[in-house]
Structure 1
Amino acid sequence: MRRPLLAYALPVLIGVLLAIVLLNTFPQLLGPPQSSPPEPPPAVEAPSELNQPASRATPEVRQAEPLSRMQGPVSYSEAVEKAAPAVVNIYSSRVVALEEHPMMSDPFFRQFFGDDVPSQQRFLSSLGSGVIVSEDGYVLTNHHVIDGADEIQVALRDGRETLAQVIGTDPESDLAVLRIDLEDLPVITLYDTEDVAVGDIAMAIGNPFGVGQTVTMGIISATGRTHLGLSAYEDFIQTDAAINPGNSGGALINAEGALVGINTAIFSRSGGSQGVGFAIPTRLAHSILDDLVTQGRVIRGWLGIEAQEITPELAASFGLQAPRGVVISGVVRDGPAARAGLRPGDVLLEVDGRPILDARVAMSDIAAIQPGATLPLTVVRSGDKLSIELEVGERPPPQLRQPER
């Protein structure tokens, strides 16, 4: 029995050994090998600017930040509601004497009227606007709104009305300060006009044509406008917010409801708004308000001269290389300039070391100097350049500053 088993076992053993040898030699005979994650390729260091060819260097570019766009509001009602209660309507009236008819001076005709002689007076009324700027009842408005008025009535938006007292006026800036005696007054917030920029939203609040309080909107079109011939001291904010008769003295506010200016004038060929309106900046108005309330007048520096801008022809006649400075055409007797020895015909080139490029700007700069201060001047007289020191005086009323020519 063992022999037949041995006869079968030997071939099986040889087959198993042969299979082991084949599998070790050719493992793929068992099927595809199990996949394993591929090894990452060796890291390659990015070339730096130092080892790159000059012609392939990456240019340095300034990358702009994403635009930050602030969405404009769909309504300015909050700003208006904040400012409008402090904007008042001003009604001024004055008695005007009419010219008497020549017949009334004849006793023969007067006897027919007895004591019932027709009145030779009538009332004239005008309207404007104003802005309450303090809880004490001070109101800013324009000088021309209340000029010559015998009675001034102020009407608030809440329906209250009262008579106003004139604290002071400044015709040279066209500003006036009134005072009203009422309790719980709404007060507007003042904005520093140094921060006002062209393109800012602006709204004008006033009483145009007497229709009642009205709001118009536009932008700040320009700042520092001068040479308009509207007043002696000009530094206007220009706006295209509609300003019409009756808006004078009203408020020009920004998008937050703060006061940036007192509406004063318009340029118009028809009498209505054409998108060119002017307002006195808050900073100037606040300065004049302080002077009128505390001093009773506006205190300005003054040289006591009348000046004329230099044209190229005048510059050539005075031997100047460029048309800069101003020609002194008149000197006020016993004024600061006269005491310092200035004469008509002198050319004023510099004030306090600063060249005069614009006569009106120079006049405003001098007005800001405290009276009594010593001011160095540079003048040209008969072709010679002179240095003169002058003690600044206080600018008197117009009737007291007539120059000698």
Structure 2
Amino acid sequence: MFSRSVLALFLVLAPVAVQAQVERAVPQSHEAIQLSYAPVVQEVAPAVVNVYATRMAQQQSGFGDPFFDQFFGRSPMFQQRPRESQSLGSGVIVSGEGMILTNNHVVEGATDIRVVLTDGREFPVDLVLADPSTDLAVLKADDGTGSFPFLSFADSDQLEVGDLVLAIGNPFGVGQSVSSGIVSALARTGMGMTDYQFFIQTDAAINPGNSGGALVDMNGRLIGINTALFTRSGGSQGIGFAIPSNMARVIADAGEAGGEIVRPWLGAQMQMLDAELAASLGLETPRGALVTEIAPQSPAEAAGLISGDVITEIDGIVVQDPEALNYRVATMPVGTIVQLTVWRNGAPTTAALEMGAPPSASVDQTTISGNTRFSGVTAAELTPALAQQLGLGFSTQGIALIGIEAGSPAARMGLREGDVIVALNGAEIRDIETFESVASQRPRSWQIILQRGGRVIRSVVSG
């Protein structure tokens, strides 16, 4: 992407994140300190776009007060009316054909999405893929020629703490801006932002509007998608997070292939180790993923894993915790065979694991409608994969609620997505047919037993 002269200029100052053999160096002279990031910015800036997403929100008209609704009713005068709102973010063009990566939260629920390039060109785009699990989305723009400027992916596994990075986006809607910094930490987990907790932390300034923008290395290659900032004031405080490029590449490839994501499934429940538990297992450090349950007929079972194993490495890469292992699994294609290092009975052993596709989470599902308290519920039979997604044990029995229509009788009753219906009016609920039959009835009252967040809740509501 660069001329030899530009590349030579930056090898003095910048770490090459994708070539581990290049020696990193700090500035050694006054001339080195005066080197500029401008050549990198000139190369990458045209591939970073502003993303404008239009949504229709509900705005209360009239009094909009429940007190008045009691007396005057919900006449059209007092109904909620649609109101147009617009959100702003950033995106990165990753192919000459106009494939764009951004954050899912930037475009979620949008009725119209447009992008604006640095040269002022504006394009309507199609939403090709939305993946809330990673908070990534793929958009597609078309200029009729397939000649968009784009960024190449770097290997985010080659990053090291201290590497120089640039963050490019549209903070606060002021226009494209660039900030510089270093990689502050790698493999940040437990942030609660996506299902796959494995982030690059940087001190390059990331502000509202930067979401979906590019984090690039000194070779001008994409190493991350800026996704969040840690702040108490709403502005940058030197802690920003980016989704690693190796995960972003998986989503981009899925978008280019048609928009379907098939993630590998391990089929094992895992937990973190603390110092006391690690010591009891004979481990020197509390590092790894402790296997607590194996799903029948799963890849983990086929690999010979058993409850009590501690997975410490995958293909030679150290596993710090279960979230790090989940990230590694999610970035591998189905069918890949990996080598696991496992701590078992006080000694290390190995296991070959073939990444398999999960059993469908919605093999049998239904949506309840009509004159019933359960109207508005979409429910699915629990498969091991769905149980794991909901944080449930593989042996959990019942029907999982995977969708609740806003404002529906089910929503007003207090049901939530992720609830597992165990029994209704004394009838055990184990399959969709039974749930459909019982939930469609109109008894005087409902005796409901459900599981929510590890708790069993028993409730009686009117019919």
TM-score category (smaller protein): 0.5 to 0.7
Cα distance in 2 for residues equivalent to 1:195 and 1:328: 28
Q: Are 1:80 and 2:65 counterparts? A: no
Query: Does the 8 Å CA contact 1:162/1:180 hold for their aligned counterparts?
Result: yes
What per-residue deviation string (whole Å, max 9, x for no partner) do you get for residues 154-180 of structure 1? 122222222211111332322211101
Question: Is contact 1:301–1:393 with CA below 8 Å preserved after alignment?
Answer: yes
TM-score by length of 2: 0.60
1:304 aligned residue (234, 247, 267):
267
Pick which of 75-84 and 326-335 moved more: 326-335
Structure 1 residues 2-48: Cα deviation after superposition (integer angstroms, max 9, x where no partner): xxxxxxxxxxxxxxxxxxxxxxxxxxxxxxxxxxxxxxxxxxxxxxx
1:220-270 C-alpha deviation (Å, 9 max, x unpaired): 333343343332324433221111010011112334543332211111122
CA shift in 2, pair 1:94/1:385, >3 Å: same
The residue correspondences of 1:99-248 to structure 2 (distance < 5 A) are: 102=66, 118-183=79-144, 184-248=147-211
Query: Would the alpha carbon gap of residues 312 and 225 (structure 1) be closer, same or farther in structure 2, given more than 3 Å must change?
Result: closer
AA paired with 1:358? D
Q: Which residue of 1 aligns with 2:394?
A: 404
Aligned in 2, Cα 1:395/1:277: closer, same or farther, shift over 3 Å?
farther
CA distance in 2 between counterparts of 1:118 and 1:138 reads 40
Q: Give the number of the structure whose alpha-carbon radius of gyration is greater.
A: 1
Deviations 1:134-162 (A, max 9, x none): 11011111122112222212122222222
Structure 2 residue matching 1:301: 3-state secondary structure: coil
CA 1:121–1:305: 2 relative to 1, 3 Å: farther
What is the correspondence of 1:196-345 to structure 2 with a 5 Å cutoff? Answer: 196-294=159-257, 296-314=259-277, 320-322=281-283, 326-329=289-292, 335-337=298-300
CA distance in 2, matches of 1:105, 1:117: 8
Give the whole-Å Cα distance in 1 for the aligned partners of 2:153 and 2:337.
Answer: 33
- Offset at 1:129? 0.2
| Shift in alpha-carbon separation, 1:329–1:126, aligned structure 2, 3 A | farther
| Counterpart position of 1:28 | none
Q: Give the RMSD, CA atoms, in angstroms.
A: 3.9
Instruction: State the secondary structure of the residue aligned to 1:182.
Output: coil
Equivalent residue for 1:7?
A: none
Specify the code of the residue in structure 1 equivalent to 2:125.
A
Shift in Å, 1:309: 1.6
For residue 228 of structure 2, give the secondary structure of its aligned residue in structure 1. strand
Extract unaligned runs of 5+ from structure 2.
1-26, 363-384, 388-392, 396-463
Percent identical residues: 42
394-403 vs 262-271, greater mean Cα deviation = 394-403
What runs of 5+ residues in structure 1 fail to find an aligned partner?
A: 1-66
The whole-number CA distance in structure 2 between the counterparts of 1:197 and 1:386 is 29
Deviations 1:163-219 (A, max 9, x none): 211111332322211101125433234444455444343221111111111122223
* 8 Å contact kept, 1:88–1:129: yes
Are the aligned partners of 1:104 and 1:110 in contact in 2 as well (CA < 8 Å)? Answer: no
Letter in 1 for 2:149: P
The one-letter code of the counterpart of 1:126 is: S
Partners in 2 of 1:243 and 1:259 — Cα distance? 16
The equivalent of 1:33 in structure 2 is none
